[in-house]
Every structure is written in structure tokens, then in C-alpha cells.
Structure 1
């Protein structure tokens, strides 16, 4: 699905970016793909999983920012920037935008299959789920890059990042 970020030799892998845990951020896209087949409460539960992932990553990045700057005068600002940037980026790139996108892809495919095929409804629902699941790998990179652009053009201008490594705050 997503390209795994590269970390430097000897660096500890990021639990939320470099391991299987990263895929928890895509739980809601899977839920949206299955929306036609499963109860809505299960779809919403997948959003809970993805939101827990986003929150855990933001907390982790805040903790790491706090450890990096233990006594500095900008410690609180560094922690706040790390938490807010990670949370907003992940909420948009892992939950809100891809969830909406997959929802609309599935809704459109179910509608179109109903108009152009004579397949029975259960077959159309399964086909819609397959369309949704197969779309996930194709939407991730464009959404990630779009959210990078959006945040670089807006929120990230609000905090001073010229002294920071831009890859530190930016989720992979």
C-alpha cells in the first residue's frame, strides 16, 4: 500500500511508520470498502481504529520531541508543533480524505453497476467491495502528497520550521 519510509542505518524504526502498525491507519478505508456488506457500526468501528492510530502517532511524536529538547526554551512549542502537525496530517491523509474518497468510489461503482449490469444485488455489493479495496493502493500517494502541499501552504507557515528538519514533523 504505502511506501515504507527509509530510516538511517542504526536508527530505531518508527513503530507508527516503519512497521505493520502503519496499516491501522488504513482501517477505515477497508471499512468503507465493505460498507455495502457489513453493518454501519462496524464501518464506524474501523474509523475508531484509524483514529486511535492517528492519536497514538501524534502522542509518540510529541514524546519524541520532548525527549529531544529536554531543557530548551522552545520545548513546549516543539512538542506542540510535533503533536499538532502529526495529528492534522494523519487525520487528513489517513482518515478523512481517503475514507471519503473510498466511500464515493464505492457508492459510484454500486450505482453504475446497477445501471449497466443485470447482476443481482449481492454480486454488485461484493464487486463494489473489490473495487474499493483495489483503489486503496492507488489513492494513498496522491492524497499524502496533496496533504503535504496543503499543510505546507497553510498550517506549517504558522510555526517556524526553518530551523527544523522538514522530515521530522512531516509524517511519512
Structure 2
């Protein structure tokens, strides 16, 4: 099981790593990192749906509960693992490269590697605030719809 956990964590952060390396690699590598992260998000949503199907068995409302599990997981993971962190690292790296170009006389390769290091070192600091923000966003919006659905059953 630990190998699966390491793989899943790596897949979940693939696009952030891709964005951090954007200055150094072909753009196809960056888009490939998004494909890996999107596959992870999709697999996690399917897994949560399967688990919800088992938990709810043949109970009434099973289909709705499975759909809610899949949609909630997919939306949460897409926002918290792909869209917001990818955008954040992209902007941090773009700003870093720009500022290094304006404030230093370092050669371009040094500025690019420094930008990548800054992007990679930013990842651990953005995880918790993004996760909490996405929880708040979904609790304030989409999850209210789920609660209404549960009341109707």
C-alpha cells in the first residue's frame, strides 16, 4: 500500500512540478503533467464512487449518493489539486523570472533554474491554504445543493 500512496501523491502534484519546470522544459512536458494530475483526479473520483456504492448497497437514494461522491471528489480534487495550485505556481514562477530579470544580471539559465527552485519550494506552503479555501468554497456553494438533495430523499 505505501507504494500506491507515494504514486498517488506524486500524480496529484505532477502539474505543480510541471509548472515549476515550465521555464526549462518544452510546453508539452507541462501539459503532460496536467494529464497525469487529471488522470489522478478522475481515478480518485471513480474510487470514491465505488466505495459509496458499496456503503449504500441497495438502499434507496444509492444512485444519488454515488453521484454526489463522484462529483464532490472530482470538483474538489480538480480545484485543490490541479487548477488552483497549477495557476498559483505558474504565477509565482512567472513573477520570479520577471523580477530576477529586472533586478539581477544573472544569465538566463541561472534565472530559469532559480525560478524552478522557487516554484518547487512554494508547493509545500500552498497546499493547506488551498485545501481549506476549496473546502470553504464547496461548503458555501455546491455542497449546499447536496444537502438539499438529501432532505428530499
User: TM-score category by the smaller chain?
Assistant: over 0.9
| CA-based RMSD | 1.9
Q: Which residue of 2 aligns with 1:69?
A: 56
Q: 1:85 to 1:14 in 2, by over 3 A?
A: farther
The CA deviation at 1:70 is 1.2
Normalising by structure 1, we get a TM-score of 0.83
Unaligned 5+ runs, structure 1:
1-12, 164-172
Unaligned 5+ runs, structure 2:
none
Q: Which residue of 2 aligns with 1:129?
A: 116
The CA deviation at 1:90 is 0.1
Q: Tell me the number of residue pairs that the alignment of Structure 1 and Structure 2 aligns.
A: 149
Q: Which residue of 1 aligns with 2:86?
A: 99
**Separation in 1, partners of 2:10, 2:133:** 20
Written as runs of structure 1 = structure 2, the 5 A alignment for 1:12-161 is: 19-20=5-6, 21-160=8-147
**Separation in 2, partners of 1:130, 1:22:** 20
Range with greater deviation from structure 2 (49-58 or 66-75): 66-75
Higher helix proportion (structure 1 or 2): 2
The CA deviation at 1:14 is 10
